[in-house]
Amino acid sequence: MSIYSDDGYKLLTADSLSTLNLTLDELLSLYVGLNSDPVQSVDHLSKSAKLALSKLESSMPETIKATYQKAKKHVMVRPERKRSHQGVAFMFGLLSQASWPEKKIKLRYASPDSSEVIELVAKALLYKKGDWYLAGLTKKKIRYFRLDMIKEVSLP
């Protein structure tokens, strides 16, 4: 049992989430999303997704749980890991802390052709074609930086 606050306090029991009233399609959508490439490519997101899915599955009403378990066996999600995402998890954690409050950061970025130090305002993290990127505002222009090519990050 836990306490929930939303314009007053409520006691929540283990089956409180069943009031979400999710359909089988909605549950399968969450299952697919939590097992998708973007989530699975970052270790701490993958662990959080497994925990969230476990909480969701354990709180399902028995009337839908059996159907969901059968249906889930026929919905396969096989994330592709086209290359090593070594260091991306660390950068992702660091940059997510900087981008959500839109902090100014300085980074050393090494592309195949050059290396440069750039000051920017971190705007967002995005996943595209198997890679994570940082979107940042530099001199009134948005630029995109692949996380695995960022070698150093600091606050100016």
6 confidence band (pLDDT: 50, 70, 90): low
**What is this structure's pTM?**
0.66
User: Mean of the pLDDT values across residues 88-109?
Assistant: 76
108 confidence band (pLDDT: 50, 70, 90): very high
Predicted pLDDT of residue 41: 79
Query: Please, are residues 98 and 118 in contact by the beta-carbon 8 Å criterion?
Result: no
What does the alpha-carbon distance between residue 14 and residue 1 come to, in Å, rounded to a whole number?
6
Predicted pLDDT of residue 42: 81
Query: Which of 87, 99, 98, 97 lies closest to 131 in space, CA to CA?
Result: 87
Instruction: Give residue-wise pLDDT tens across range 14-66.
Output: 555 545 678 888 889 999 999 888 888 787 788 888 999 988 888 888 888 88
* CA torsion, ordered 5, 10, 14, 16, to nearest 10 deg: -90
131 confidence band (pLDDT: 50, 70, 90): confident
Parse the chain into domains and list their residue ranges: 2-72, 88-154
Contacts of 85 (CB under 8 A, 6+ apart): 41, 42, 132, 148
Task: List the end-to-end C-alpha distance of the chain, in Å, as a whole number.
Answer: 45
Predicted pLDDT of residue 86: 55
User: Mean of the pLDDT values across residues 100-121?
Assistant: 87
- 112 φψ region: left (φ > 0), alpha (ψ -120 to 50), beta (else): alpha
Whether CATH 2.60.40 fits 88-154 = no
User: Mean of the pLDDT values across residues 112-134?
Assistant: 88
